[in-house]
A and B are shown apart, each in its own frame.
Chain A
Amino acid sequence: EAGVAQSPRYKIIEKRQSVAFWCNPISGHATLYWYQQILGQGPKLLIQFQNNGVVDDSQLPKDRFSAERLKGVDSTLKIQPAKLEDSAVYLCASSLGSGHTDTQYFGPGTRLTVL
């Protein structure tokens, strides 16, 4: 079974530029999560999709971050414009069911550096 795929693996941009990350979840998984993980901290949920609807985006900085999940499969996360404090690893995860008691499977992440 293929795991969660993410691209790119690494990205370096200057502040005020824009960047987009892509995620392909495990086939058949209804729920998709985007997390931000700053070095030395636990993952912080940015947005959760169930199929192609948003379940939770309470911690998404909506003035600069946006995300979509077209056709309930792949998802993209965009930052525009980027700030220095956005430097982090962006993790995508998916789970079979819709609840937070389901095991989440993580992709390898995208390490973003904002200069």
Chain B
Amino acid sequence: GQNIDQPTEMTATEGAIVQINCTYQTSGFNGLFWYQQHAGEAPTFLSYNVLDGLEEKGRFSSFLSRSKGYSYLLLKELQMKDSASYLCAVSPSNYQLIWGAGTKLIIKP
């Protein structure tokens, strides 16, 4: 079957760094997305990785290792507004997208 695993919940401190992991087992691989979803709001796009390595975008970076079926989202200089759920989604083929259940990130002052 196809499966995506993320931690259910994480807690971090304002100003710190947090890494949210995502592991996947899918029949194929066409890319991996990270979306941010604030409570009661719609998901918004953060990043897309299709090749191995680190993609940096401001305070957020996303890493992919296709051989290990692993990705992480790195958030630096955490701000209170970063409190949200972070969804990992994998495209096994061009006609499919599998979503993880999301990681709820709680930022404490």
Give chain A's interface residues, CB within 8 Å of chain B. Answer: 4, 40-45, 55-56, 91, 93, 99-101, 103-109
Measured CB to CB, the residues of B under 8 A from A are 4, 30-31, 33, 41-45, 48, 50, 87, 89, 91, 93-97, 99-102
Sorted nearest first, the 8 A-B pairs with minimum C-beta distance are A42-B99, A106-B42, A100-B97, A99-B94, A100-B91, A101-B31, A103-B45, A42-B101
Question: By the criterion CB–CB under 8 Å, are A101 and B48 in contact?
Answer: yes
Contact B42 A42 (CB under 8 A): no
Assess whether B102 is in contact with A42, with CB atoms less than 8 Å apart: yes
Q: Does A104 contact B45, Cβ atoms closer than 8 Å? A: yes
Secondary structure at the A interface, as helix, strand, loop or mixed, is loop
Q: Separation in Å of the B4 CB from the closest CB of chain A?
A: 8
Of the A-B pairs whose beta carbons lie under 8 Å apart in the complex, a sample of 7, sorted by A's number, is A42-B89, A99-B30, A99-B91, A99-B95, A103-B48, A106-B44, A108-B42
A42-B89, A100-B91, A101-B30 given; A107·B42 CB < 8 A: yes
A112 to B41, CA, bound (A): 14
Assess the A43–B48 pair: CB atoms within 8 A: no
Residue of A4, A91, A100, A106 with most partner-chain B CB within 10 A: A100
